[in-house]
Amino acid sequence: MYVATKGGERAIGAAHAWLAEERRGDPATPALTVAQIREQMTLAVARVMAEGALYDPDLAALALKQARGDAVEAAFLIRAYRTTLPRLGASLALDTAAMACDRRISAIFKDLPGGQTLGPTFDYTHRLLDFALAAEDAPPPPAAPEAPPASSPAPRAAAILDREGVLQPEPEGADTPPDLTRAPLELPADRALRLQALARGDEGFLLALAYSSQRGYGRNHPFVGELRVGAAAVEVEIPELGFAVAIGEVALTECETINQFAGSTTEPAQFTRGYGLVLGCNERKAISMALVDRALRARELGEADADAPAQDEEFVLSHCDNVQASGFLEHIKLPHHVDFQAELELVRRLRAEATAAQAAASSEAAG
Amino acid sequence: MDRPTEDDAARRDWMGLLARAPAEALQKLWGDAGATPRFSWLRPPETGAVMVRGRAGGVGAVFNLGEMTVTRASLALDCGAVGHAWVQGRDRRKAEIAALVDALMQTAAAPRLRAQVLAPLAEAERARRDARARKAAATQVAFFTMARGDA
């Protein structure tokens, strides 16, 4: 059977025109500018950059405006845009130890060398709505206090444990890491591929998995060794010149967890590590990523019964991408008339057969 | 890669400074410097993506974190000096100016551009970083330890 597949153009045109109107909202309210979104919705912009896997605050702000604030739809727009860009190269590995930190805390050392720096955090706020912000034309807030900065970057908290030998060293990997944007996901994945997938993975999904691991589904006892929010230089080797130039800076959130130890009769006990690194300021995601990274190392670290969802590489990596997931999820709302007609025919036939069989049975019983 | 020479190091510094400068600031300083050299494109400005890489644990295996937008351009001045630019973002005009300054820095115009463009950019970058570092420093926690019981 054939069904009409044309004829929706007029309706689609009208739907898109209305979408544009709804996106704009009441025209009596001033329109948002991209700069306003970039400057005042910074954490939404950060999420779109991380999950869109492309660092460009202006584009992420534009995507949010176009997507009516829907972060996942905005990430989809960014992913689609990035496919139009030629790949010019790859950076040297970021030196996050040299990051200019707005915030840098450790939950394992009170007297952390370099100090605990809180930065512009929501922590310690009371989570009470601030109705003063509802006032329009409020004057900008008073300037934040200043103090003389340290002269050198703060050392890594992990480096302190490293020196004592109580922390597992990070193994070297391949010079050219696998790239999800170039080759489809293949399992088993190495740690580099897992970290790429998690860095662009859905924040909510990673949060839930990380939380599940804390609640006992693949428990691994994490401590936040260090959490850093700041900016790091991106150095790229210029092919024409043969040396590297710091061509820009990206805002980053980095989380390093220190987890329960591994050891055996032949090897002394050592703490293990989980790692989270996310484009933009997003510590919920960075901490979640570190917990899930560590959970996914269960097998490599020889942990028994590594069968919790957060420890299942195929489960986590196949489902953490929200662009892929929403694409597959939402396609079922598109026309499936033919499939459904076939199913409907089948149900009708089964019912007719059952009714006929029943009628035959009762006439036999009566006869 | 060979060890960068002193000239390379200086060039690396100014190319980075031009790349990281806010586009408006660079355009204004370039306009004020009033240089209008004749040049031809070797590669007109082209926007693309660079894959930004991190390391597991900050020190271990390299992995692909995500891309960033980058615009590159190369040009040759009529005198023969070649300028290159690789700048973060999608601003073609900024890449053009950065490549022009890079080329002029290899000519007799270097001292003038250093004074009129590079020095103010370096100062602005230092001030921008210092302002954030000073605010961060003000949020540093000072713990008080209380002595308990008999000393």
B64 within a domain of the structure (yes/no): yes
- Residue A209 DSSP symbol: H
A254: nearest CA partner in chain B: B58
- Residues B130-137 have a mean pLDDT of 96
- Residues B86-97 have a mean pLDDT of 98
B143 within a domain of the structure (yes/no): no
φ, ψ of residue A53 in degrees (nearest 5) = 60, 35
Looking at per-residue confidence, does A5 or B94 come out higher?
A: B94
Cβ atoms B52, B67 nearer than 8 A: yes
* A149:B88 CB<8 A: no
* A170:B51 CB<8 A: no
B146 within a domain of the structure (yes/no): no
Cβ atoms B140, A117 nearer than 8 A: yes
Counted domains in chain B: 1
B95: nearest CA partner in chain A: A247
- Residues B96-102 have a mean pLDDT of 98
Q: What does the alpha-carbon distance between residue B96 and residue B73 come to, in Å, rounded to a whole number?
A: 6
Residue to test with chain B: of A49, A162, A195, most B Cβ within 10 A? A195
ipTM of the complex in this document: 0.93
Pairing outcome for strands B82-88 and B39-55: unpaired
Residue A2: the pLDDT is 55
B149 within a domain of the structure (yes/no): no
B66 within a domain of the structure (yes/no): yes
Q: What does the alpha-carbon distance between residue A258 and residue A107 come to, in Å, rounded to a whole number?
A: 10
Q: What does the alpha-carbon distance between residue A173 and residue A338 come to, in Å, rounded to a whole number?
A: 50
Q: Which of B 56-115 lie inside 8 A of A, CB atoms?
A: 56-70, 72, 74, 84, 86-90
In terms of Cβ atoms closer than 10 Å to its own Cβ (0-12, 13-18, 19+), residue A28 is exposed
* A192:B51 CB<8 A: no
Q: Provide the domain limits for residue B105.
A: 6-138
Q: What does the alpha-carbon distance between residue A100 and residue A40 come to, in Å, rounded to a whole number?
A: 21
Chain A residues with CB under 8 Å of B3 CB are none
* A192:B136 CB<8 A: no
Q: What does the alpha-carbon distance between residue A167 and residue A261 come to, in Å, rounded to a whole number?
A: 8
Average pLDDT, chain A: 92
**Residue B126 burial (CB count, 10 A):** 10
The shortest CB-CB distance from B132 to any of A49, A97, A102 is to A102
B1 within a domain of the structure (yes/no): no
Q: What does the alpha-carbon distance between residue A114 and residue A119 come to, in Å, rounded to a whole number?
A: 14
Q: If pLDDT is split at 50, 70 and 90, which confidence band does B3 have?
A: low
**Each residue's pLDDT tens digit, B16-73:** 999 999 999 999 999 999 999 999 999 999 999 999 999 999 999 999 999 999 999 9
* B69:A147 CB<8 A: no
* A94:B49 CB<8 A: no
Low-confidence ranges of chain A (pLDDT < 50): none
pLDDT at B7 > cutoff 50 = yes
Q: If pLDDT is split at 50, 70 and 90, which confidence band does B1 have?
A: very low
Residue A114: the pLDDT is 85
Q: What does the alpha-carbon distance between residue A173 and residue A177 come to, in Å, rounded to a whole number?
A: 8
